[in-house]
Amino acid sequence: MTAIATAELIAGDGSHHWQRYELLATHFGHRPSLGRRRAVGTPREAIDGMLIITRVDAGEAPAGTSRRSALITLFLSIRFINTIDGANASKGRVKMSLDGVDLNLLPALDALLSERNVTRAAERMSVGQPAMSASLARLRKHFDDPLLVREGRTLTPTPLALSLTPLVREAVAAAEAVLGRARDFDPQVNRRSFTIMASDYVTLILLRPLVARLAQEAPLQRVNVIPVQADCAEQLHKGQVDLLVLPTEAAGGRFNYPHRHLFNDRYVLVADPDNDAVGPELSTEDFSRLPYVAYSGPLQSIADAQLDSLGISRAVEMTTHSFVIIPLLVAGTPLVSLVHERLTRCVAEQIRLRVVDPPMPLRPISEALFWSPRHTDDPSHSWLRERIAELAGEL
């Protein structure tokens, strides 16, 4: 089977050189095996960098070969020899070396760069710590760089490692999507690690029950939760996160990703039960005079965005990056705030609060689950999305 690939050569100096490569490749199960490589055209100067095959246009497949088998995307972390072979230069061929390159090191590198801890990387890959240490040693030799250096009790990535991190993550994610899509997934047998980006509010009311249920029903599965960040769409695109939970009102038109609705919620006004300034007949003018706790995370609070659109001012006395901490800040103080109603129910047994309807009309929010289109048909991702949707339906 012959495929024509457009490859982006990212040189050591950060410049980009586009080349075309003709690959003679065969496909055995889920593991590609390269035959010969013939470069078509050469860069104008010698390159020492990374070869990332970003697109493969499959040619005519032999009889009996499926289109999926014919379409092979290969992500190769290789070193180019820093000279063009004199005999091939006139023919436009670049001499390359793949000797000693083990593509199985790519997932190990991804785990090491993500966890920055050998033990946790080994757990993520379901291998022993000695095996992961051996992989790190081989990667250091391959790149001629320590990659991770110890500073106190932590491992800090080198500049080269930092530059490799997004490339490696995207390469591994795309390779998993292509080569792993046809696999079946049994949560009782297969071990997976998922990264979900969500607010602490969603983590408390939805993902905490998810982790508890998985511990009983699918103990082999691991869920890592990270807070919502301003570049959440980019991280989803690059495969740095598997799933993103975000209000559709916050996503707006920036998110051209598959998604499904999880649940609705509305905002309520919370205050300390002994706060006499908050009564059932609170006016908008009264609200604007009360000391207010505002959320100041990477994305603006939907409640504050609605207040701004209504032209309602707030006497902000305190800001926080956490939704969950707001009820704790209100309790026992003269502060007030607008919080999610489901959050007040979740903390009702631990925190005494006065909960009243806000004196202004606020639209409810719709929390949704977003994912990359390359994971739509992935069996493990489909399984997890269904588990999350089931729990959301039980709220």
- Per residue in 358-377, pLDDT (tens digit) is 999 999 999 999 998 888 88
- DSSP-assigned states of every residue in 221-248: -EEEEE---TTHHHHHHHTS-SEEEEEH
Q: In what order do the strands lie in the sheet with 2-11?
A: 31-40, 16-28, 2-11, 49-58, 75-76
- The answer to whether 38 and 93 are in contact (CB under 8 A) is yes
State pTM to two decimals. Answer: 0.61
pLDDT at 232 over 70: yes
Q: Please give the CATH topology (third level) of the domain spanning 193-264+367-394.
A: D-Maltodextrin-Binding Protein; domain 2 (3.40.190)
Domains 193-264+367-394 and 267-363 share a fold: yes
pLDDT at 157 over 60: yes
pLDDT at 80 over 60: no
User: Which pLDDT does position 125 carry in this prediction?
Assistant: 80
Neighbours of 61 (CB within 10 A): 16
**Token pair for residue 116?**
């920055």
What is the amino acid identity at position 198? Answer: A
Element (H, E) at 25: strand 16-28
CATH of domain 267-363: 3.40.190.10
User: Which pLDDT does position 181 carry in this prediction?
Assistant: 55
Neighbours of 86 (CB within 10 A): 8
- The answer to whether 27 and 69 are in contact (CB under 8 A) is yes
Beta strands in 45-192 (DSSP E): 49-58, 75-76, 148-151, 154-157
Q: Please give the CATH topology (third level) of the domain spanning 105-179.
A: Arc Repressor Mutant, subunit A (1.10.10)
Average pLDDT on 263-287 reads 91
Domain residue spans of the chain = 2-89, 105-179, 193-264+367-394, 267-363
71 DSSP 8-state letter:
-
pLDDT at 28 over 60: no
Output 105 or 6, whichever has higher pLDDT. Answer: 105
Is 195 exposed, middle or buried (CB count within 10 Å of its CB: 0-12, 13-18, 19+)? middle
- Enumerate the β-bridge partners of residue 91: none
pLDDT at 85 over 80: no
User: Which pLDDT does position 183 carry in this prediction?
Assistant: 63
CA–CA dist 384, 178 (Å, integer) = 19
Which residue from 189, 171, 148 is spatially nearest to 380, judged by alpha carbons?
189
Output 143 or 318, whichever has higher pLDDT. Answer: 318
- Enumerate the β-bridge partners of residue 34: 25
pLDDT at 50 over 80: no
Output 55 or 230, whichever has higher pLDDT. Answer: 230
Q: How confident is the model at residue 124 (pLDDT cuts 50, 70, 90)?
A: confident
Which residue from 27, 369, 15 is spatially nearest to 197, judged by alpha carbons?
369
